[in-house]
Chain A
């Protein structure tokens, strides 16, 4: 019975994702893999966002709220059936010869197996990783048992400071929705929504790679990213780092698509993914601000004010309610805004001698990342021209700003910096992995073009 209820929850998430995909993809026909990736990622981001809105109105997650979301989605889809018809058939894939077909098939099966591993371990393994129960699992229980309005005593009980009371609530709310559907706290089946983010990330990673790579290399690079041992290990655990990396990937892919296409719909999808990232982890909020700054600079250069306005509105709508609510929660752990002062940064610059070597050591750790980072270095050398292209500039800027942000956090942190690095740096690099993989693809594409230019005649 619980399995059936959780399966229905998945279907409703996908239904909601379909509605959003329909709204946000505009009139352009898109390939099946892209549409599926969007349905998974947008659905898994929108469901907890809507449940949070309900909860802020005093209605905690329940079968009724989820059923209402399903009903609304079905009504929208029925009313928009002409829109649906206009987008069908989806763009067909280019036919492949037998060699490409065989290799591609093998890679698709392997990528599928990685996703299957994550699915099995999500549904099969209880919460055993420290943060998974101390922070995220506990919050999922709190959100399941009481709505956010009136504020549950948990969120003002400073004894629970260790649980990071002010952390964003998207991941635990997605799990709380699962608990609501099965009617009880069952930490394995209740996490059914999490693999959807991983699957969406896998599909959109491929979509992103395909912008610069042919089919086989794109599949290979997708496998290199999604098959990072550390990501496969952490993804089932219900901690927010892997979902954050998924939403960031969606945001960055559609930022790059928008840079190329100038289609407002791509910018809106980017904004939606980033708003989900902001609700997933505090780092997501900072990274959303960085990426939206890039969007703002480009819109100013292109004078497309409506696009900027629409993106800002979408973000305010999604993130605003939770952000306002979270102001009433004690910020007693990091509270980095108050630490970010010039005197504090100058005072702690000596920490760089600990932070930078640790950063390099983590990046070159092949047990965690395979050779993802080495690939980037190699391709950056061979396809160096991409550095001067818009997508290269955007992605390199993102990597530098991203690493800069985390370095500054370590510089100002009130915690013991060596202990904090040990506990968190590998996880922070998960957030960066999609950008690294996409940048590798960009340089790969530039290398191919250079090769073609070098052909005689």
Chain B
């Protein structure tokens, strides 16, 4: 039984469309370089390189000689998107990395949705607050007028710790 031209045309169109769809999906995966970078890193045992930008934060918070870490931001402007993103990346990644130890970047009860909330809250903990939150000092992330970011850890004085 011969198929009608319309039937044949539909059949061919559908088949070609499906082949194209498959080809496009495979092309998309092939072109998505990050997928292959990840595979290469996974298979060669270099997976930590993939997270290099985050590893800097991880190493920094891990090196702080304190149980919990209290963090204050100096020199950052809540109205500058870059400043907001910079501090956001630090406290969000740091909080993840440290847990179950805690990274405190705002007063208890402050609702933090974005880095802007953190900067607008102007967190400036007292020695008593730091001690009450089981931390041994204050980590400061400082943005200089020359746009250089530096980190400083101020330990609590001995007598205040023992008090």
Interface residues of A (CB under 8 A from B): 107, 110, 114, 117, 120-121, 123-128, 130, 133-134, 137-138, 141-142, 145-146, 154, 157-163, 188, 217, 220-221, 223-224, 227-229, 232-233, 236, 332-333, 366-368, 370-372, 374-375, 378-379, 382, 444, 447, 450-451, 454-457
**Chain A residues with CB below 8 A from B29, complex form:** 114, 117, 227, 229, 232
**Chain A residues with CB below 8 A from B43, complex form:** 120, 124
Bound Cα distance A456, B47 (Å): 62
**Chain B residues with CB below 8 A from A126, complex form:** 47-48, 50-51, 54
**Contact between B6 and A454, CB atoms less than 8 A apart:** yes
Which 7 residue pairs across A and B have the least CB separation, nearest first? A124-B42, A229-B28, A227-B25, A370-B25, A370-B24, A451-B7, A133-B96
Residues 1-37 of chain B: 1 if any A CB is under 8 Å from the residue's CB, otherwise 0?
Answer: 1111011001101110111111011111101101100
**Chain B residues with CB below 8 A from A366, complex form:** 24, 28
Q: How far is the CB of B98 from chain A (nearest CB, A)?
A: 10
B interface majority secondary structure: helix
B60, CB-defined interface residue at 8 Å: no
**Chain A residues with CB below 8 A from B114, complex form:** 162
Interface residues of B (CB under 8 A from A): 1-4, 6-7, 10-11, 13-15, 17-22, 24-29, 31-32, 34-35, 38-39, 41-43, 47-48, 50-51, 54, 92-93, 95-96, 99-100, 104-106, 108-114
**Contact between B99 and A145, CB atoms less than 8 A apart:** yes
**Contact between B42 and A160, CB atoms less than 8 A apart:** no
A interface majority secondary structure: helix
**Contact between A159 and B105, CB atoms less than 8 A apart:** yes
**Contact between B99 and A138, CB atoms less than 8 A apart:** yes
Across the interface, A224 reaches (CB within 8 A) one of B7, B15, B25, namely B25
Bound Cα distance A374, B16 (Å): 13
**Contact between A117 and B14, CB atoms less than 8 A apart:** no
Q: How far is the CB of B8 from chain A (nearest CB, A)?
A: 9
Across the interface, B50 reaches (CB within 8 A) one of A125, A158, A379, namely A125
**Contact between B35 and A233, CB atoms less than 8 A apart:** yes
Bound Cα distance A158, B106 (Å): 10
**Contact between B42 and A158, CB atoms less than 8 A apart:** no
Across the interface, A121 reaches (CB within 8 A) one of B18, B20, B39, namely B39
